Structure 1
Amino acid sequence: MEESNFLRQNGYLVLKSIGHGTFGNVFLIQNPELNIVVAKMMHNEDFDENEWNVGQVLAQEPPQICPFFIRNITKKQINMYTIIFMEYANLESVYDLIDTDKDLPIPMVRVIMKQILQGLSYIHSKGIIHRDIKPSNVLLHNPSGTERVILKIADFGSAITQKNLGESMLMDSVGAIAYAAPEFQTLDNNQQAMADEKLDIWSLGLLFYRLLTHSFPFNPNSQIESQKFFDKKQLVRDSSIKNSESWDLLTHMLSFNRKTRISASDALKHPFFTGQKAMAEISESSLLNAQYARQSKLGGNKSVTVFDTDSSGEI
């Protein structure tokens, strides 16, 4: 209540509270300068310079280059508070999709995974490892005036930056335990393990598995059962996974050896996305929208992106 009043006193219309944590609170706000955005508000001493710096690296290029992550807009320090203003995703999250317990058609799952992988491929190309990929950290957004849904990777509070692209480095296990990669099953005396950006692929692989089955390939609520899974190093195909190409991609994403685990950029080249069946399952409306976008681009519309003209990436 104190923080929302502070925002109002400083000229921001508080539309609603979105969430809270140990760092502070998150609000949906509006003002003439920023329009409708998210305000992440914390005491100055709780401000994470690393999180802001990661956001700045990702925001160096315009959204047209990659729209699949939440961008920081600006930050302000007002008295005792630091406020980070960021994009607002106006729908729910992938967690809410999974939580419905409804089977999603493979063409929809394909687009969801493609957009997340495009976001992750871009993030990794900047030397950034997210380290907390999970369904609640992938948000859905419907751009105004369109029928499209864009998925956006959110919450870079645990992210770290590699000194050199693709290098392994010692790091702590952070984020949701259920989505932690096998590398973190064995830690050194400092509770660290050698890992790289492929830990995000493992986490996304589990998200993929849950989209297809509504479950994990192990029992995340039982430490004993989880340990058995990681000790056996065997991924068992659930009977609900009918699509062979999705299963093949899953096995590459959920490789227990990070060195053989597929990268985000290579995953996008997998037949699950590029094969004949994938092309045949693109909806007529997606084909028409992509055609319209191409024509609009030829007509000089500079706001049209490569993603708008890609019929295989539209929900």
Structure 2
Amino acid sequence: MLGLNQLSNAEKERLFQEDKQAIEQQLDLKNPEYLGAGSFGRVYRAESNDGAYLAVKVQSQEQYNNQEFAAADVLNTIPNNYFVKTFGKKDFGEKVFLLEEFCDLQSLESATNLGLIAKTSILMEFLVLFHEKGLVHCDITPSNILFSSVEGQESFIPKLGDFGETTSLQNINNSTEIDGTQFFFPPEVRQRRGDYNQGIDIWMLGMTLYMIASGKKIDHRSYGLLCVSGLVPPTQTEDLSKSQNELLLDVNGKKLTETMGKDFVHFLSYMLNEDPKRRLTAKQLLQHSIFTKNLTGNIDQIPNAYAEELGLKIDIKKQIASQRVSLV
């Protein structure tokens, strides 16, 4: 199946209409609205009969078998709310329709306030359980961290989504190359050292948090420096070189320890260790003081009252899909 960028506008429109028709007729959902596309397929928002919004991901059979199989059967067995849940799937011809939780807010990429960055670190709770299942996400980026309202409460939480590049630890151990967004890959992947592990996810989440916290664009020289020296803990500043000190500054030259807090930067340094053998695991990171001492406030949920301050918009009319929704 050709990618969207290989299709003419007329072919794209025809494909979208075919998808929408199948969503209405085969899934019995209403008002499908195209949201976007990527290597994972196409995503639509649709309504169930009880008015709940759902996300419908449309993939080819080949895309589903090659990219989703490692995670699809185990994700919903994980007792955690910090990931985008899948409610079911249905095959229709050469396409697979995945019915997923719809996140009503923007992604971390859209957030405008640094206060949201530290909150996102609670995704570590999910990564602990996810890694215990022997899986590696391989594509943790700002656009794949979404925010969703908590049903029945005046708050919202971050969720990790897009498991299209997920693979098993066994597969990644035997690979020299992996798929995903290369900019966020750790040094060992960029250098094709092989013998990879779940530290890939730790580095990618660390890079994501660093990128948003520092405000540095992808062409900033700091990212090259990170792959060479990692992020050195701020407690060692007396021994740092000029380039290492540069990594502890944001794009405006302000110290990250002042804009984000020393504890958070210390936490990041454990994630952004250039040596995968010294990089902490998700389980080890969960013992850091930002979790055990709750230094970032109520770390489980973010009150809706903070949404505007954080650059997000709450749609109070939005309803969240529940486990009542299923595919037959």
**Aligned ranges 1:67-82 → 2 under 5 Å:** 67-82=81-96
1:274 is displaced (CA, Å) by: 2.3
SS at match of 2:121: helix
1:174 is displaced (CA, Å) by: 2.3
Residue 146 (structure 1) aligned to one of 145, 153, 168: 153
Cα distance per residue 1:260-285 (max 9 Å; x no partner): 1111121121123323x817x459x9
Q: Which residue number corresponds to residue 278 of structure 1?
A: 295
Q: Which residue number corresponds to residue 236 of structure 2?
A: none
Residue 76 (structure 2) aligned to one of 17, 40, 59: 59
**CA RMSD, Structure 1 to Structure 2 (Å):** 3.0
Q: Which residue number corresponds to residue 111 of structure 1?
A: 119
Q: Which residue number corresponds to residue 272 of structure 2?
A: 254
- 2:129 equivalent to 1:134: no
Misfit runs of 4+, over 4 Å? 224-229, 232-235
SS at match of 1:40: strand
Distance 2:52 2:70 in 1: 23
When the two structures are aligned, how many residues end up with a matched partner? 264
**Aligned ranges 1:1-315 → 2 under 5 Å:** 1-10=17-26, 11-22=28-39, 24-32=41-49, 35-48=52-65, 50-61=67-78, 65-97=79-111, 100=112, 102=113, 104-105=114-115, 108-114=116-122, 116-163=123-170, 168-187=173-192, 193-215=194-216, 220-221=218-219, 227=224, 229-233=226-230, 235=244, 236-238=247-249, 239-241=254-256, 242=258, 243-275=261-293, 278=295, 281-282=297-298
Given that residues 7 and 14 in structure 1 are in contact (C-alpha distance below 8 angstroms), is that contact kept between their aligned partners in structure 2? no
Distance 1:282 1:35 in 2: 28
Distance 2:274 2:39 in 1: 33
Cα distance per residue 1:189-215 (max 9 Å; x no partner): xxxx22100111111111221332222
Given that residues 33 and 45 in structure 2 are in contact (C-alpha distance below 8 angstroms), is that contact kept between their aligned partners in structure 1? yes
Structure 1, unmatched stretches of 5+, are 288-315
Amino acid at match of 2:107: S
The alpha-carbon distance between structure 1 residues 232 and 48, as it changes in their structure 2 partners (threshold 3 A), is same
TM-score by length of 1: 0.74
Amino acid at match of 1:266: Q
Distance 1:286 1:93 in 2: 14
TM-score by length of 2: 0.71
Given that residues 75 and 82 in structure 1 are in contact (C-alpha distance below 8 angstroms), is that contact kept between their aligned partners in structure 2? yes
Structure 2, unmatched stretches of 5+, are 1-16, 232-243, 304-328
Q: Which residue number corresponds to residue 309 of structure 1?
A: none
The alpha-carbon distance between structure 1 residues 247 and 37, as it changes in their structure 2 partners (threshold 3 A), is same
SS at match of 1:66: coil
Given that residues 40 and 164 in structure 2 are in contact (C-alpha distance below 8 angstroms), is that contact kept between their aligned partners in structure 1? no
SS at match of 1:59: helix
Which structure ranks higher in relative contact order (CA pairs < 8 Å, sequence separation ≥ 6)? 2
1:71 is displaced (CA, Å) by: 1.6
Amino acid at match of 2:215: H
Distance 2:149 2:64 in 1: 30
Amino acid at match of 1:111: K
Q: Which residue number corresponds to residue 3 of structure 2?
A: none
1:112 is displaced (CA, Å) by: 2.1
1:45 is displaced (CA, Å) by: 4.0
Q: Which residue number corresponds to residue 303 of structure 1?
A: none
Distance 1:21 1:110 in 2: 28
The alpha-carbon distance between structure 1 residues 233 and 266, as it changes in their structure 2 partners (threshold 3 A), is closer
The alpha-carbon distance between structure 1 residues 84 and 33, as it changes in their structure 2 partners (threshold 3 A), is farther
The alpha-carbon distance between structure 1 residues 175 and 163, as it changes in their structure 2 partners (threshold 3 A), is closer
Given that residues 89 and 96 in structure 2 are in contact (C-alpha distance below 8 angstroms), is that contact kept between their aligned partners in structure 1? yes
The alpha-carbon distance between structure 1 residues 145 and 52, as it changes in their structure 2 partners (threshold 3 A), is same
SS at match of 1:144: coil
